[in-house]
Structure 1
Amino acid sequence: MLGDDEDVFDSVTWESPSAPYDVDNTVQPSGPGFKQSTAGTDDAQGPHDPKWEGYLITTVKDPVKELAETKDAYVSYLVLAKTNLPIFSTPNPSARRRFQDFVFLRDHLVKDFPACVVPALPDKHRLEYLTGDRFSPEFMERRRLDLHRFLERISRHPTLQRSTLVRAFFESTEWHVHMHQHLAHPPGPEPTPGIIDNISDTLLNAFARVRKPDERFLDMREGVDKFEDGLVLCERLWNRVRGRTNDGNPESGEDLTADYHDLAVAVQGLGFLESGITDPLNHFSNTLLEFSALMRHKTQTTTDPFLVHLHSLLTYSHANRAVLKLRDQKQLDFEELSDYLSGVTIERDRLSAIISGHAGSTGLGLSAYLKDKVDAIRGADDDRSRVEKMRKLDIKIKELQDAVTTAHETSDAFSDETLREQTVFQYTKEAEMKEMLGNLADGEIEFYQSAMEEWERIIPIIQRIRVDV
């Protein structure tokens, strides 16, 4: 929250990167929400270590139903921030945004920063949209928490937090105008069709594999797999625990809260039969009812938020996996283009050898032999047609050489950025795991302390019961 004075990342030196903003590098960022390390220096940081320019602490609160009683009704949320980033015009920006504004922000961050792990938004296609219950306080509060977590992840990212779109999202009083301007004038040039777009899809298909995988990214992918497997297993177990504690269906036989409630009713009925111990049994019945209520309260305030956060962290990991997959695709583009260039070069050398009378020196293969026979049948095996074909191949080779160089530079740059993204993801994951498990532990401690107080109060009353035999 905005008032917290700790817990974003530990042992991180906040530095001004060579980013698309003019900042004074002599300014040392300071403020709540960050613990700055004084041990590290510029020389101590690796080339793939992320660098932060400052802090951005965000929160989403106060969901309000706008245009009530109309078909255009929607929910708006108050987004607040506290920052020392120089790109913001005020240290405490705020604005009201609807869910579609969050969707626009997320979609264009993905488009503008393809190498960044942009967190996913909560799914819009929920049952509440079909039943008409999307304006219920419970649903709006769940949605608020999901949106708060989305902005929190963006604010922890050293690149996304400095995006001009993020700044406008918090500051702009004419957000719709800014959205139209962003659509009309995107921050990066629109990609133009190149040689890679003209290559047959059989070269760049979904079943192709990277032939020279980088061990660093193989280890990352293995780590992501293990992390997601752990989250899925944890989510499955806690869903089972939740179902057996409070599944909302007393007839299932697995609802402990309902069982304790039924036991309380039975003890109360027993008290009416045993007139000598009616009062102690009523106290015991009330304790059972209170314990049942405590279990239900723990489910609503601790278990359910834990499961929601667990699922959200899983979707965030999926976004990280998508970046790793995109990096592999960049390397695959380079490898396939290199192979295509090699094939075209071999074909050009073969034609040159045939024209010069040294066809046997090129290692003629079966496919080339059949191609020559087909050309002979079509009457296209004369030197003039071969020279024209060589001229076209020379042009294609030049284009392919440029494309291979570009693909190699893109692959290397994407790999470097992916390494930084993994570090940022690890920071964010650790911070969220600490918060999530801390909230779970606090909820469990509160539940057992309250339960102990209730049972300690009833034990002396039970011990005073005397039954004549």
Structure 2
Amino acid sequence: MAVTDQDHDQDNFSSISWTEHDPAVNAVAGQHGHHAGEASAARRSGRELDPHGLGSEKLECTVGSPLKENDGSKDAFISYLITTHVRIRDCAKQPRPSSFGAEEAILALDCNVPSPSSVRHKQLTWTCSTHQSTFQSFQKETTTVRRRFTDFVFLYKQLMRDYPATAVPPLPDKQRMEYVRGDRFGPDFTLRRAHSFQRFLTRLSLHPILRRAPILHSFLESPDWNATMRSRSARASLSTDPSNSSGVFDNFADTFINAFTKLHKPDRRFIEVKDKSDKLDEDLGNIEKIVARVVRREADLETDLKDLAEQFQKLIALEPGVEPEVHAFAASIQDTAAHLHTLRDVTDQDYLGSLRDMQAYSLSLKNLLRAREQKQLDYEQLTEYLNKSTAERDSLQSGYASSGAGSFIRAKIEDVRGVDHEQARRERQRKLELRVEELTNEVERARATSDMFDDEVVREVADFERIKRAEFKAQLGGLADAHVGFYGEVIDIWERYIKEMDQEGVAAA
């Protein structure tokens, strides 16, 4: 499915010109820098194969058939059947499109959700099928596994932990009100969640880094996923250092302080991204309200059509002479209401849910922008601290003591204690030299981390925009197909009714 140049012009983020940083910066301390470096390497290797960094692999997924397990017990839950089909494809012999359709020629994710089907033991199943992949990590051409909501949550948390420099697509909400009302196993809720899981897998498969994540491949293929979760949880608990228990409070304190600290040199690139993300959220919110109103009116129209058909059925007892005509007319109205119900389900469960999911995805991008600001704040604050320490060191070296209140009090205390002022000055100078040296190294590491994070965020914005564009096209195309199908069926219904009435009129004549 190709995208015209006009589609690119109407895009929210594509008009932003990015300034590339030096990609040779590799020495980055901490987990964020480590994964950012891995992501950069993966992106570079992927972009050698295609401009979007997707490579020659092809991955397709399908979600459907919700299954209710442990029915009748307090531990009842809904699982999702994931079928993965792997097929090697020779992309070198095929022409590569020059427009946005390149990633669709290389990778496609088709998610088809059938209606919930009754299975024995009164269970209800989701089916998620993944087709056509050249990933070497997949063991079979076709695999089928079953996953529940908590499995998706574990996958999401692992991706968030392993890839902090990426905007990981969010999962659908827990929907606690469904648990309160007791209809969390109803078809409306399960199908709505199925569509959200489809979009989640679609976004992962279209992301050049996340689609290659080993944990995602295990999620789609591993027959013993519970063991994988236990082993990863055990490794995470063992890697946690008890001596770093205060790190949570330190991070909280840093976050709290930085919340009231502004950047000295805000990057205009990311300001534009944030502004356009806010505009996107506002537009999605307005469209969501309109579509929700359309859904309510479609539901009201469906109810009115059913009531109208029922009232016409009652006319048969009063006018038995026109029973065939009235009965056919009422049946046509009933069929129209049934097709309208199908259209409403597509609009409500699929399209309306996609708008909310896109708002959540946009929030993930904003969170990544805030994380980038945190890196820049760390760099600026370390630089400011380094400048102060350097100025204090230079002041001591020049022989001029500071005239502040702190220096005056320190001098008086040294007099009381009988400390040699010259020796104390040399000791302070030595400590300042060590502090300046340490801060210089920290500033360099913070700068490298900030620059690499900037590069990753720039690529993430481009990936987000590409995924958003593909998702909007698919969702709008599905909504348009549903409307075309609805009106086509309605035309057939009433043309068939008119034809039947004409035939009866000719027969009566």
Give the TM bin, normalised by the shorter chain: 0.7 to 0.9
Q: Deviations over 1:34-78 (max 9, x none)?
A: xxxxxxx95995xxx635352222233443333333333333222
Q: Residue 303 of structure 1 contacts residue 440 of structure 1 at CA under 8 Å; is this kept in 2?
A: no
In the other structure, the counterpart of 1:333 is: 378
CA contact (8 A) 2:379 2:447 kept: yes
1:346, distance to aligned residue in structure 2 (A): 1.8
| Mapped contact 2:258–2:377 kept (Cα < 8 A) | no
Looking at structure 2, the residues matched to 100 and 213 of structure 1 have their Cα atoms a distance apart, in angstroms, of 39
- Name the SS for the 1:237 alignment partner: helix
AA matched with 2:407 = D
Q: In the alignment, does 2:290 pair up with 1:290? A: no
Deviation string, structure 1 residues 219-255 (Cα, Å, up to 9, x no partner): 3223322222221111111011112221xxxxxxxx2
- Indicate how the Cα distance of structure 1 residues 435 and 262 shifts in structure 2: closer, same or farther if over 3 A, else same: same
Pick aligned residue for 1:167 from 217, 224, 231:
217
| 1:143 aligned partner | 193
TM-score (norm 1): 0.76
User: Residue 74 of structure 1 aligns with which residue?
Assistant: 77
Secondary structure of 1:96 counterpart: strand
Match of 2:432 in 1: 393
Identity %: 36
Instruction: Give the corresponding residue for 2:13.
Output: none
Give how far 1:112 is off: 0.7
Pairing of 1:48-447 with structure 2 (within 5 A): 50-52=53-55, 54-81=57-84, 82=86, 83-185=133-235, 201=254, 204-246=257-299, 255-266=300-311, 280=325, 283-353=328-398, 356=399, 358-359=400-401, 369-379=404-414, 382-447=421-486
* Secondary structure of 2:142's aligned partner: coil
Q: Distance in 1 between matches of 2:449 and 2:422?
A: 40
SS of the residue corresponding to residue 332 of structure 1 reads helix
CA contact (8 A) 1:50 1:423 kept: no
Please give the alpha-carbon distance, in whole angstroms, between the structure 2 residues aligned to 1:232 and 1:370: 56
Secondary structure in 2 aligned to 1:70? coil
In 2, Cα distance between equivalents of 1:262 and 1:340: 75
Secondary structure of 2:83's counterpart equals strand
The Cα shift of 1:314 comes to 1.6
Which residue type is aligned with residue 374 of structure 1?
I
CA distance, structure 2, for counterparts of residue 61 and residue 314 of structure 1: 24
How many residue pairs were aligned?
A: 415
Distance 2:438 2:387 in 1: 13
- Residue 389 of structure 2 aligns to a residue whose secondary structure is helix
Distance 1:202 1:437, change over 3 A: closer
Contact map agreement 2:281 2:359 (CA 8 A) in 1: yes
Relative distance call for 1:280 and 1:153 in structure 2 (3 A) is same
Q: Please give the alpha-carbon distance, in whole angstroms, between the structure 1 residues aligned to 2:329 and 2:143.
A: 54
Tell me the amino acid that sits aligned with residue 113 of structure 1.
Y
Instruction: State the TM-score, normalizing by the size of structure 2.
Output: 0.70
> 1:67, 1:73 within 8 Å by CA — same for their partners in 2?
yes
Cα 1:453–1:406 change in 2 (3 A) is same
Q: 1:288 to 1:65 in 2, by over 3 A?
A: closer
- Is the contact made by 2:347 and 2:479 (CA closer than 8 Å) also made in structure 1? yes
Structure 1 position 445, deviation (Å): 0.9
2:195 and 2:349 in contact (8 A); partners too: no
Q: Identify the structure with the greater helix proportion.
A: 2
Helix, strand or coil: the match of 1:401?
A: helix
Distance 1:19 1:339, change over 3 A: closer
Residues in 2 aligned to 1:60 and 1:420: alpha-carbon distance in whole angstroms: 29
Residue 447 of structure 2 aligns to which amino acid in structure 1? H
Q: Which amino acid aligns with 1:168?
A: S
Pair 1:138–1:261, CA change in 2 (3 A): closer
Aligned residue identity for 2:72: E
Deviation at 1:269, TM superposition (A): 5.5
Which amino acid in the other structure matches residue 405 of structure 2? L
Q: Is the 8 A contact 1:115 1:417 kept in 2?
A: yes
Superposition deviation, residue 19 in structure 1:
6.7
Q: In the superposition, relative to structure 1, how do residues 423 and 329 fare at CA in structure 2: closer, same or farther (>3 Å)?
A: same
Letter in 1 for 2:223: T
Measured after TM superposition, the shift of residue 455 of structure 1 is 3.6
Aligned mates of 1:318, 1:62 — CA distance in 2: 30
Contact 1:59/1:152 (8 A) holds in 2:
no
1-structure distance, mates of 2:64, 2:333: 36
Structure 2 counterpart of 1:223, which letter?
Answer: K
Q: Is the 1:203–1:336 contact (alpha carbons within 8 Å) kept by the matching residues of 2?
A: no
| Aligned partners of 1:302 and 1:444 also within 8 Å | no
**Partner AA of 1:438 in structure 2:** G
In 1, are the aligned partners of 2:54 and 2:207 still within 8 Å (CA)? no
Q: Per the alignment, do residues 304 and 133 of structure 1 end up closer, same or farther by CA in structure 2, a change over 3 Å counting? A: closer
Give the structure 1 partner of residue 33 of structure 2: none
Give 1:69's aligned amino acid: G
1:249 alignment counterpart: none
Q: 1:375 deviation in Å?
A: 2.4
The alpha carbon displacement at 1:96 in A equals: 2.1
Contact residue 336 and residue 493 of structure 2 kept, 8 A: yes
